[in-house]
Amino acid sequence: MRKLCTICLLIASLAFAHAADAVRVSGVVDGKKLQLTPELQKRLTEESVKLLASCSNTVIQPKNTLENAKRKSHLHFTFVEPRSFDLGTEKKTGATGVQVKEMVLTLPLSSGGAWIDSTQFRWYCSKFDAKITQEMEEILRSAQKP
């Protein structure tokens, strides 16, 4: 019985660690690397789902734009396994259930965009809901505090 409990605890801790490692979030603002705790990374990932669903401009872009977006202030999301996102408010064909491997959000979000590398295409999304943009900006401000 004791061994069974030990094995269950081990499996639960490994599953938790894997879930935490499922996405890696980093960022740069004005040339300074953001210090993002696991909790901030989780919150930013959750808000990014809402952000992408709220955009009113969604298009397929050329392949090289993701790297170009990293030259500015940005948030960079890397998913260990592709994560499903719905892109845009219009729910265009092909823009729902997009399997995202990597994403760069250029900052500030109010004038920036999302550059997305999916399993099928590269996407660009912009014109986000102002309330969601403000919520993400607030999370970013907390990451910049000493």
User: Strand order of the sheet with strand 74-85?
Assistant: 32-33, 23-29, 74-85, 98-106, 113-118, 122-126, 57-60
Residue 63: predicted pLDDT: 64
105-134 tens-digit pLDDT: 999 998 999 999 999 889 999 999 999 999
pLDDT attached to residue 4: 39
Does pLDDT of 10 surpass 80?
no
The bridge status of strand 57-60 relative to strand 122-126 is antiparallel
Instruction: List the domain boundaries for the chain.
Output: 23-144
Contact criterion met (CB below 8 Å) for 106 and 139: no
Give the separation between CA 5 and CA 146, rounded to whole angstroms: 41
Task: Give the model confidence (pLDDT) of 61-89 as tens digits.
Answer: 766 678 889 999 999 999 999 999 999 88
Say what the pLDDT of residue 17 is: 37
Average pLDDT over residues 135-142: 90
pTM: 0.81
Collapsed DSSP state (helix, strand, coil) of residue 70: coil
